[in-house]
Amino acid sequence: MSDPDVAVQARRRRTFAVISHPDAGKSTLTEALALHADAITQAGAVHGKASRRGVTSDWMEMERERGISVTSAALRFTYRDTILNLVDTPGHADFSEDTYRVLTAVDCAVMLLDAAKGLEPQTLRLFEVCRHRGIPILTFINKWDRPGQDALGLLDAVEERLGIRPTPVTWPVGIAGALEGLVDRRRDDEVVGFERSAGGATVAAESVLDPAALSGDAAYTTAVEELDLLSSIGAEHHPDDFLAGKATPVYFGSAVSNIGVRHLLDGIVDLAPSPGPRPTAGGAPRPLEADFSGVVFKVQANMDRAHRDRIAFVRVCSGRFDRGMQVVHATTGRPFSTKYASSLFGQERSTLDIAYPGDVVGLVNASALRVGDTLYTGRAVAFPPLPAFAPEHFAVLRPKDLSRVKQFRRGVVQLDEEGVVQVLVSDRRGEQAPVLAAVGPMQFDVALHRLAQEFGAPGVLDPLPYQLARRTDAAAVGVLERAPGVEVFTRTRDGALLAVFPSPWRLSSVTRDHPDIRLDDILDSS
């Protein structure tokens, strides 16, 4: 059943994530964005103390402090009649493969940089995943209210290290720490001044400054020179380059003072893509107006242990979702009831009854659903399985209790299938001692916890001294296995051959000694 309204609704939506290194200001920016919102509702939420042991969601903290409705998975708000779905990328202590996976649920990302620190490791990793998946990226250079790097220097770093062309949309008048205003290059170089709001608690009042009055101002003169330079090197926004991930519109500001945030929001609405038809496992994309379909991109254990329930967060890919509708779980072919879609957040929070492509729905009683699963109504569809990302932590897993070996093995297979961790095997180590590989060490904690709780088969992990992995092929295995400090494994999930290295230096020396062997960056296996 085709619903023409779906395409109209999809065009009104922007679904994005903020990618950043811890402390760059993601929570502050989120809050600043939300301050501009007309209304805030949430796409799904989980109450109570975190099962994430000691890791309190920043957003939950915000919710308590500010009384706004947020969730641990997605924040939804309206700006200029556009519905913005901001999907959370877990960072800090809970950085894991799931952090990368949530990027499969967004159409665009905001790369947030600290003006003083510039590009930092976690940002680089997340950037690579976005680039690999072809997600367009806007850049926000934060903390311009305090001393930092030079604006042109930051652009150079983005261009050189990321290989993406920065095309500034706003430009600071004043070096970091001495911000006088922002030039809006999309509005004929209009200069906007700000009145600081205490602690960014309100939207900073803006006023358009008169260029004539600024003519003697040294900072303004410098800004004009820099703008001329930018124009002369052609650093202008080109929609095609941005959408193809070759260029990134850049914004400057201060999240904590809510400066430049409005410009960024305008950029998300005006420049970022709305949800489009998503390619299916068969190849052909499912049209937006087709029947409902969606992909589970995050599963969270219910905070209420007594129920052992799970909440699955689904990104709507096509059609209209109506709470209560019966959908098909593509993996099992079984019907799945969405009656409880949002009952958890029914009382004090607004219920999500209808959702369109780009929206995020939280499904309660979702113990059958796994990350990567497809749900649909009408014509059957399955979206491609979620990719596995390059692991950076490795450990040998063995059963603690030898009388539980059968359950232990079953558990490992299950966790592997669910993508909780990656399982690596080799002839040398034998099947008895699989190696677990993960993007973040928290994945190991989850794996051990679930082996003990769900399979009654506690395990022990012995860390291995490897730091990075490269994809290789059968022809290179002999050489690599003779290289000291290097080991080759087969990843059970997809049969990929992975060579693991104790350090980047070891990798470069092997590459130098054997320039002909295949050692590909493995962002993912898709």
Give the x-and-dash track for 30-69 against ligand GDP (CB under 6 A).
----------------------------x-----------
Q: Does 103 bind ligand GDP (CB under 6 A)?
A: no
**Under rule CB under 6 A, residue 22 binds ligand GDP:** yes
Contacts of 51 by beta carbon, 8 Å cutoff, 6+ apart: 300, 301, 302, 303, 305
Q: How far is the CB of 454 from ligand GDP (least distance, A)?
A: 32
CB 341 within 8 A of CB 362: yes
Which of 88, 107, 145, 359 is close enough to bind ligand GDP by CB under 6 A?
A: 145
* CA trace torsion 353, 356, 358, 359 (10° rounding): 0
Q: Which of 15, 28, 170, 302 binds ligand GDP (CB under 6 A)?
A: 28
Cα separation, 313 vs 260, whole angstroms: 31
Q: Name which of 347, 352, 367 is nearest 301 in CA terms.
A: 367
Q: Which C-beta is closer to ligand GDP: that of 145 or that of 373?
A: 145
Binding mask 225-254 for ligand GDP (x = CB under 6 A): -----------------------------x
- Minimum Å gap between C-beta 31 and ligand GDP is 8
- Site size with ligand GDP, rule: CB under 6 A: 16
Nearer Cβ to ligand GDP (6/182): 182
- Considering the rule CB under 6 A, would residue 255 count as an interface residue with ligand GDP? yes
CB 151 within 8 A of CB 230: no
List 493's β-bridge partners, or say none.
Answer: none
Whether residue 123 is annotated as binding a ligand: the answer is no
Query: Under the criterion CB under 6 A, does residue 139 sit at the interface with ligand GDP?
Result: no
Q: At how many degrees (to 10) do helices 58-66 and 26-35 cross? A: 40
Residue 250 one-letter amino acid: V
Closest separation between CB of residue 255 and ligand GDP, Å? 4
263: helix, strand or coil = helix
User: Quick check: 32 and 47 in contact, CB under 8 A?
Assistant: no
Q: If residue 59 lies in a helix (H) or strand (E), which one and from where to where?
A: helix 58-66
φ, ψ at 186 (rounded to 5°):
-85, -10
Q: Is 142 in the site for ligand GDP (CB under 6 A)?
A: yes
User: Look-up: residue for tokens 């649909």?
Assistant: 376
Picking from 167, 170, 165, the residue whose alpha carbon sits closest to that of residue 181 is: 170
Asked if 387 interacts with ligand GDP (CB under 6 A), we say no
Closer by beta carbon to ligand GDP, 25 or else 168: 25
Q: Nearest approach, Cβ of 294 to ligand GDP (angstroms)?
A: 28
156 annotated as ligand-binding = no
Q: What is the DSSP letter of 524?
A: B
Nearer to ligand GDP by Cβ, of 24 and 109: the residue is 24
Q: How far apart are CA 10 and CA 520, in angstroms?
A: 37
Report d(CA 159, CA 166) in Å as an integer: 6
Q: Is 146 in the site for ligand GDP (CB under 6 A)?
A: yes
Residue 470 token pair? 């490269």
Q: Which residues pair with 316 in a beta bridge?
A: 294
Which ranges constitute the DSSP H helices of 114-217?
121-132, 151-157, 211-214
Contact with ligand GDP (CB under 6 A) among 13, 14, 26, 404: 26
For ligand GDP, the binding residues in 299-318 under the rule CB under 6 A are none
- Do residues 147 and 177 lie in contact, with contact meaning Cβ atoms separated by under 8 Å? yes
Is 83 or 204 the residue whose CB approaches ligand GDP more closely? 204
CB of 33 to ligand GDP, least distance (A): 12
Residues 44/342, Cβ–Cβ less than 8 Å: yes
Alpha-carbon span 425 to 100, nearest angstrom? 24
Q: Is 359 annotated as a binding residue?
A: no
CA 435 – CA 345 distance, rounded (Å): 40
- 423 DSSP 8-state letter: E
Q: What is the closest distance, in whole angstroms, from the C-beta atom of residue 22 to ligand GDP in the complex?
A: 4
CB of 279 to ligand GDP, least distance (A): 32
Of 132 and 143, CB closest to ligand GDP:
143
Q: Does residue 487 touch ligand GDP according to CB under 6 A?
A: no
Residue 204 sits in the site that holds ligand GDP (CB under 6 A): no
User: Position 508: which residue type?
Assistant: S
Binding of ligand GDP at residue 256 (CB under 6 A)? yes
Is residue 24 near ligand GDP by the rule CB under 6 A?
Answer: yes
17 binds ligand GDP (CB under 6 A): no
Q: Is 25 annotated as a binding residue?
A: no
Comparing CB distances to ligand GDP, the nearer of 115 and 169 is 115
Is position 92 annotated in a ligand binding site?
yes
Mapped onto helix, strand or coil, the DSSP state of residue 83 is strand
DSSP 160: I
Q: Does residue 109 belong to the site contacting ligand GDP (CB under 6 A)?
A: no
Q: Residue 20 interacts with ligand GDP (CB under 6 A)?
A: yes
Residue 387 per-residue DSSP state: P
Which is nearer to ligand GDP, 9 or 142 (by Cβ)?
142
CA atoms within 13 A on the CB side of 160: 8
Cβ at position 30, least distance to ligand GDP in Å:
8
Q: Summarize the annotated binding site as residue ranges.
A: 88-92
Binding residues for GTP: 88-92
Site for ligand GDP, rule CB under 6 A: 20, 22-28, 58, 142-143, 145-146, 254-256
